[in-house]
């Protein structure tokens, strides 16, 4: 049985505490679908409450850490070396529509390097976690990226731009990319929770994942998990500027290069 480090133990504990409220609120969301006002305000409150719980738990355990949290932005610098990067509710649109696919994402960064990640899926009570040099796990099970070598066998996840997410030029560029990938692979999936898309690459369920315009909180934990599962992660240009550029391509070691090549078509770099 793998023994989690104190860092991972406390990250998972914080995520589980925040998940209790999300689970209660998700039950309520189904009832609100039929109300005239809809569940939008209720869901943003659920999001804020989860962020508050995470912040309190993480701060109590590691007061020296700074924060980058989706809802409140960068609100604390801390010792300047350590930082939490947190998405209290990833998959908000799914949550809002009563679709059972969302997660809490918590990453730890030290001196600008991602060192640990936890992606917790409340509805399945599943924790994807990884620590630099220790490996990636789903609860107690070691994770490995898939071994598929050919794009024609690959199932690739993506995120489709939407209203307010990227400009018209980036939407057009995405359609070119989508067309190129679509022609070469066994299937494309859009599940709407980037942290879980990455966790699923680590688990070998998806063979790759790409998306533009993500926030650091969408991908930080997932990046550590994919890397520790033996996968490759870059930005869309093949560099390592994922958190700043907002673009990400994660895949197993055989498929990363061919996918990058497809995404690098003229006008898509």
127 φ, ψ (degrees, to nearest 5): -115, 115
The residue from 8, 54, 58, 92 that contacts ligand IPD (CB under 6 A) is: 92
214 binds ligand IPD (CB under 6 A): yes
Asked if 192 is part of the footprint of ligand IPD (rule: CB under 6 A), the reply reads: yes
Tally helices (H) and strands (E) across the chain: 8, 13
Q: Does 90 bind Ca ion (CB under 5 A)?
A: yes
The binding track of 46-75 with respect to Ca ion, each residue x by CB under 5 A or -, is ------------------------x-----
193 binds ligand IPD (CB under 6 A): yes
**In a 3-state reduction of DSSP, which class is residue 82?**
strand
d(C-alpha 152, C-alpha 203), whole Å = 19
CA distance 65 to 85: 10
At residue 141, the 3 state secondary structure works out as strand
Interface positions, 148-177, toward ligand IPD (CB under 6 A): 159, 165
Q: Does 131 bind Ca ion (CB under 5 A)?
A: no
The dihedral over CA atoms of 13, 18, 20, 21, expressed in degrees to the nearest 10, equals 170
> Cβ distance 43 to 95 under 8 Å?
yes
Applying CB under 5 A, does 25 fall inside the site for Ca ion? no
Residue 204 is classified by DSSP as T
Count of residues interacting with ligand IPD (CB under 6 A): 13
**Rounded to 5 degrees, what are φ and ψ at 121?**
-105, 100
Q: How far apart are CA 215 and CA 70, in angstroms?
A: 8
218 binds Ca ion (CB under 5 A): yes
Between 197 and 218, CB nearer to Ca ion: 218
Is residue 138 a contact residue for ligand IPD (CB under 6 A)? no
In whole angstroms, give the CA distance from residue 36 to residue 14: 34
Name the residue number minimizing CB distance to Ca ion.
90
Min. distance of Cβ 75 from ligand IPD in angstroms?
17
Whether residue 242 contacts residue 215, with contact meaning beta carbons closer than 8 Å, is answered with: no
Does residue 121 touch Ca ion according to CB under 5 A? no
Query: Is 211 a residue that touches Ca ion (CB under 5 A)?
Result: no
Residue 87 within binding range of Ca ion, rule CB under 5 A: yes
Q: Does 109 bind ligand IPD (CB under 6 A)?
A: no
Q: Which range, of 12-20, 49-57, 173-181, 190-198, touches ligand IPD by CB under 6 A?
A: 190-198
CA-to-CA distance for 2 and 117, rounded, in angstroms?
16
The residues that touch Ca ion, with contacts defined as CB under 5 A, are: 70, 87, 89-90, 218
The residues that touch ligand IPD, with contacts defined as CB under 6 A, are: 87, 89-92, 159, 165, 192-194, 211, 214, 218
């Amino acid at each position: 049985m793998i023994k989690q480090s104190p860092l991972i133990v406390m990250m998972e504990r914080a995520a589980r505490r925040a998940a209790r409220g999300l689970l209660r609120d998700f039950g309520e969301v189904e009832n609100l679908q039929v109300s005239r006002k809809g569940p939008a305000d209720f869901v943003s409150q659920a999001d804020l409450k989860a962020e508050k719980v995470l912040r309190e738990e993480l701060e109590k355990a590691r007061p020296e850490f700074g924060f980058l949290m989706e809802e409140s932005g960068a609100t604390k610098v801390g010792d300047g070396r350590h930082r939490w990067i947190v998405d209290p509710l990833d998959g908000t649109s799914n949550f809002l529509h009563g679709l059972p696919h969302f997660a809490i994402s918590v990453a730890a960064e030290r001196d600008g390097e991602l060192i640990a990640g936890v992606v917790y899926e409340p509805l399945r009570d599943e924790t994807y976690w990884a620590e630099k040099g220790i490996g990636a796990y789903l609860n107690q099970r070691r994770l490995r990226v898939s071994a598929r070598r050919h794009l024609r066998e690959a199932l690739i996840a993506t995120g489709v731009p939407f209203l307010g997410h990227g400009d018209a030029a980036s939407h057009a560029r995405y359609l070119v990319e989508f067309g190129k990938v679509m022609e070469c692979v066994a299937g494309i999936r859009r599940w709407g929770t980037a942290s879980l898309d990455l966790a699923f690459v680590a688990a070998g369920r998806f063979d790759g994942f790409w998306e533009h315009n993500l926030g650091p909180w969408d991908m930080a934990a997932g990046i550590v998990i994919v890397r520790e599962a033996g996968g490759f992660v870059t930005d869309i240009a093949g560099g390592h500027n994922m958190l700043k550029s907002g673009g990400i391509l994660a895949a197993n070691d055989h498929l990363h290069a061919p996918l990058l090549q497809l995404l690098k078509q003229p006008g898509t770099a």
